[in-house]
Structure 1
């Protein structure tokens, strides 16, 4: 079978900001949201296969890739609003929303803000499921990041560092497998606008204690929404233990831990990733938002959080959840 050409990068202006995205295939819509410092190309290994059965939309989030990088709202709520407006402009009413890392936090927020537009929720090595995060991400919030990174990305040093990171990523050491992706993110920091945007993003979701965003207090609202969590067993950015956190918060969620994969399981094992995603979509019914039930849940409120969760431990929430 001849290899499909990569989908063409398109642009649309929303609220005065130019947003880049790719769209491929036909059928039910799958929205793919990338992680911090990445762009739509992180999904290149899976878009071709997935677009044989689905319409795939993979945007560059604001501040990333070929989208504009304004001084703007880079919170997960702001990103969720932007995805709602992008889908509206593209004529899409509902979608299965897939989010990787930061994109997982955006996907969770999108599902919370717009449940009537979310058919299913898929979290891939997602933020928002526990406080732990790589020290390298915390470093972005420190004073002087802009200036120091400006020096570290001068042409000669940048070339040596990115080459070294890519070589290390190919050594076969599980803990180093993601350094190729780190090299691409590091290389993008040569652009001052990108550095500024990424700093705004990280400050909105991480502080010195770790991740700020969480689904713990709102997990009970996802009872009617099918949810799948996919994680690489060797993830060094966000611990794979967070997949178990998701299982505790949403007991009926489907949890898939991919062996021999790091923070980018969709790149380490794209065929397996597509099989998991397709099977999840095939075996679940799209969520149908019930306003009355939503109101009842809000009135009942979240279940009581166990005392141990006060110290930062993920609560075990004994409620029906995404499934």
Structure 2
């Protein structure tokens, strides 16, 4: 193989710059937006003595000619997979920086057989700041910390790519939802972040590591978004350890105990509640034109479980549509149980109705997972208990903001359907005592829930806290969708 060569697929050309030695890991370096293979030089020098380095110029960047149109992240991930196959790069160590992390994540999720290890350096895009204005602001903030040499180098590469082509590639970057891809990754993954990275805040980088099964997290002191340019030796040493199967960084898992919820002052709590109820009010209007679930929900990948949505009290199935759309986009078929109306019937009676509805059709080969909100999680647990022979094919329940120990504030309401959620209620006590099914439950909750002040953590279950406050707003948050997908993956491991 020549040190520099081209890989072509249709109108897209990737230029491969190869160095190093043949008797070691194959390191594949994928640059970020506007960059090229050159900026890996310090890192490549650390990797070259241990294996073969393949530093890429993606279409339109560096030495690669510009195609007619930019690639979306899934298409770029497929292009990288085709390159690995064509170049006979077996079980690669994929390393992506910034936008490049989005590309390698797609490849690893779609083609696990091609990837041995994965490294995500400063992975974008933080879903809480997925707008051009926010990303531009963060980039400018990060520039203030960049070394003049690194800044000049970066500006030269941006100029080479050209502002028009750079701008054309911004939209695919912002549209991509890496948080929905991460739970699908099976390769051991190391996330690396610079301590002062303004583009990738620490909580988001740690969340990336948490969403990948078995993910690990490392932070490089004193560096920003360009960490591997000015700290190539430190980053390279981490990657070499990771590639060799040695521990690098610290383990981060969804099974870690969630951080304690912050104490909110009254003004902040009231503001959070106002936003939460505003979201709920808008979602309640969705039922006006929602007699039937979307046709797209009937289609999905056969090796993924069918999702059964169960809303909370006073909620129509359409209340959970944003989450249903996200799960369907990730390849799951999604079904709803009609006839629940406002979900005000007793928990046991509703659980029997759900079981009867599901029994009308044989469970799919990949099984079913109940994804529920609030009271729906209690109904889901009741179905798990009743389905002793697993005749319904239910692999588990992912419950969001569910009062497993009851909700003491239910005493403030006169409606019997809400007072039935009191901790002293007979059904609540029975469900709490039935701990044998807790291992088949994933409980997802936010940092502050005005309706479930005692929390939704369930002993023996997988408990996941997402960085979103409220009882209703979690249903529309991308962080929740990512946590739900990770929970589904845990409940339905590949057989």
**TM-score in terms of structure 1 length:** 0.71
Change (3 A) 1:137 1:12: farther
RMSD between superposed Cα atoms in Å: 3.5
Q: Is 1:177 paired with 2:185?
A: no
Query: Would you say the 8 A contact 1:231–1:256 is kept in 2?
Result: yes
Higher relative contact order, structure no. (Cα contacts within 8 Å, ≥ 6 residues apart): 1
Aligned to 1:121, the other structure's residue is in SS state strand
Match of 1:13 in 2: 8
Match of 2:303 among 295, 300, 305: 295
Match of 1:28 in 2: 25
Match of 1:81 among 78, 95, 109: 78
Match of 2:162 in 1: 194
Change (3 A) 1:231 1:281: same
Change (3 A) 1:176 1:10: same
- Mean CA deviation greater in 119-128 or 96-105: 119-128
Q: Aligned partners of 1:130, 1:83: CA distance in 2, in Å?
A: 24
Match of 1:221 in 2: 184
Equivalent residue runs for 1:51-200 within 5 Å: 51-132=48-129, 138=135, 175-177=144-146, 180-190=149-159, 194-200=162-168
Q: Is 1:245 paired with 2:207?
A: yes
| Deviation, structure 1 residue 196 | 2.7
Aligned to 1:122, the other structure's residue is in SS state strand
Q: Which ranges in structure 1 are unaligned for 5 or more consecutive residues?
A: 1-6, 141-168, 207-211, 286-293
Match of 1:279 in 2: 241
- Mean CA deviation greater in 128-137 or 237-246: 128-137
Q: Aligned partners of 1:134, 1:60: CA distance in 2, in Å?
A: 26
Q: Is 1:203 paired with 2:211?
A: no
Match of 1:231 in 2: 193
Query: Would you say the 8 A contact 2:11–2:67 is kept in 1?
Result: no
Corresponding pairs, count: 270
Q: Is 1:260 paired with 2:222?
A: yes
| Deviation, structure 1 residue 263 | 0.6
Aligned to 1:217, the other structure's residue is in SS state helix
Query: Would you say the 8 A contact 1:127–1:213 is kept in 2?
Result: no
Query: Would you say the 8 A contact 1:43–1:266 is kept in 2?
Result: yes
Q: Aligned partners of 1:189, 1:246: CA distance in 2, in Å?
A: 27
Q: Aligned partners of 1:251, 1:117: CA distance in 2, in Å?
A: 17
Query: Would you say the 8 A contact 2:191–2:205 is kept in 1?
Result: yes
Q: Aligned partners of 2:111, 2:478: CA distance in 1, in Å?
A: 28
Query: Would you say the 8 A contact 2:189–2:209 is kept in 1?
Result: no
Q: Aligned partners of 2:136, 2:58: CA distance in 1, in Å?
A: 21
Q: Which ranges in structure 2 are unaligned for 5 or more consecutive residues?
A: 248-301, 306-331, 333-365, 372-397, 401-443, 446-467, 469-473
Match of 2:318 in 1: none
Q: Aligned partners of 1:134, 1:263: CA distance in 2, in Å?
A: 18
Q: Aligned partners of 1:83, 1:218: CA distance in 2, in Å?
A: 16
Q: Aligned partners of 1:58, 1:125: CA distance in 2, in Å?
A: 17
Q: Aligned partners of 1:107, 1:126: CA distance in 2, in Å?
A: 10
Q: Aligned partners of 1:102, 1:247: CA distance in 2, in Å?
A: 16
Query: Would you say the 8 A contact 1:61–1:67 is kept in 2?
Result: yes
Change (3 A) 1:320 1:276: farther
Q: Aligned partners of 2:98, 2:69: CA distance in 1, in Å?
A: 21
| Deviation, structure 1 residue 254 | 0.9
Deviations 1:39-89 (A, max 9, x none): 011110011220111111111011211101121242111211221222233
Match of 2:38 among 41, 52, 66: 41
Q: Aligned partners of 2:156, 2:229: CA distance in 1, in Å?
A: 19
Aligned to 1:62, the other structure's residue is in SS state coil
Q: Aligned partners of 1:252, 1:221: CA distance in 2, in Å?
A: 12
**TM-score in terms of structure 2 length:** 0.48
Q: Aligned partners of 2:152, 2:159: CA distance in 1, in Å?
A: 12
Aligned to 2:197, the other structure's residue is in SS state coil
Q: Aligned partners of 2:158, 2:97: CA distance in 1, in Å?
A: 20
